[in-house]
């Protein structure tokens, strides 16, 4: 059995986010790199005041190389539009940088990252947050919330609220994919936008 070292030993000692991104491209910190197409690192404004954290790249992001370009990303774009928030002013990233999936015929079905993979990948997210140095970090869903606030943090309790950490505030809401899957999608969307408005301190 191969023992993977985690991402820490791949993170270069530099303040240059682009150099960090390049290094992440060759990370073998856990086994997810083997089947995925490429590392999907964070993207957006390098000194954004707000960072959004998702779970992991999905099928579209894995092929494209950028976060939130598939269906979940389109729903997120619509929510940001409705709030009048410019996506280009944000920095978007994920707790885990490689797509974890299971093959079913020709399809690749998303699988949640394991706790070990979230922990293995955490040094990349930590480095992004250090270098971007935002005021607000918004966690989209449970995996992001666990990655930023620890495994006991509950989205159902925290959604729509912010928690003060030493370096930034952390806001919590659900994952946009959960809105897409919700039985009452319209209501779930309204609640999602409402959470974002509250963590952005718009209402
Ligand atoms: N879901 C995520 O959590 N992140 C992405 O980048 C795309 C879908
Ligand atoms: Fe490295 Fe994270 Fe990819 Fe694992 S998921 S190989 S830790 S970048």
54 lines ligand 1 (CB under 6 A): yes
200 lines ligand 2 (CB under 6 A): no
> What distance in angstroms lies between residue 163's CA and the mean position of ligand 1's atoms?
23
Q: Give the separation between CA 8 and CA 6, rounded to whole angstroms.
A: 6
CA distances from 129 to 41, 92, 114, 157 (A): 12, 11, 22, 24
pLDDT digits (tens, 9 = 90+) for 172-194: 999 999 999 999 999 999 999 99
- Which of 25, 33, 124 has most ligand 2 atoms within 8 Å of its beta carbon, as the pocket-test mutant? 33
pLDDT digits (tens, 9 = 90+) for 88-142: 999 999 999 999 999 999 999 999 999 999 999 999 999 999 999 999 999 999 9
- Which of 96, 112, 119 has most ligand 2 atoms within 8 Å of its beta carbon, as the pocket-test mutant? 96
> What distance in angstroms lies between residue 198's CA and the mean position of ligand 1's atoms?
22
- ∠ CA 32-130-133 to the nearest 5 degrees? 125
pTM for this model (two decimals) = 0.97
Q: Give the separation between CA 79 and CA 127, rounded to whole angstroms.
A: 27
At residue 44, the 3 state secondary structure works out as strand
């Amino acid at each position: 059995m191969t023992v993977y070292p985690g991402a820490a030993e791949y993170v270069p000692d530099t303040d240059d986010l682009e150099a960090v991104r390049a290094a992440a491209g060759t990370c073998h910190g856990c086994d997810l790199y083997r089947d995925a197409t490429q590392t999907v690192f964070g993207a957006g404004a390098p000194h954004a005041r707000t960072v959004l954290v998702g779970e992991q790249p999905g099928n579209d992001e894995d092929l494209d190389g950028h976060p939130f370009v598939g269906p979940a990303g389109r729903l997120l774009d619509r929510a940001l539009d409705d709030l009048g928030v410019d996506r280009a002013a944000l920095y978007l990233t994920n707790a885990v940088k490689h797509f974890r999936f299971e093959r079913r015929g020709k399809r690749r079905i998303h699988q949640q990252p394991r706790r070990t993979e979230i922990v293995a990948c955490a040094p990349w997210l930590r480095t992004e947050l250090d270098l971007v140095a935002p005021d607000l970090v918004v966690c989209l869903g449970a995996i992001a919330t666990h990655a930023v606030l620890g495994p006991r943090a509950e989205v159902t309790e925290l959604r729509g609220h912010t928690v003060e950490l030493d370096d930034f505030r952390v806001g919590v809401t659900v994952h946009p994919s959960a809105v897409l899957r919700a039985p009452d999608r319209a209501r779930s969307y309204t609640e999602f936008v409402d959470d974002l408005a509250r963590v952005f301190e718009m209402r």
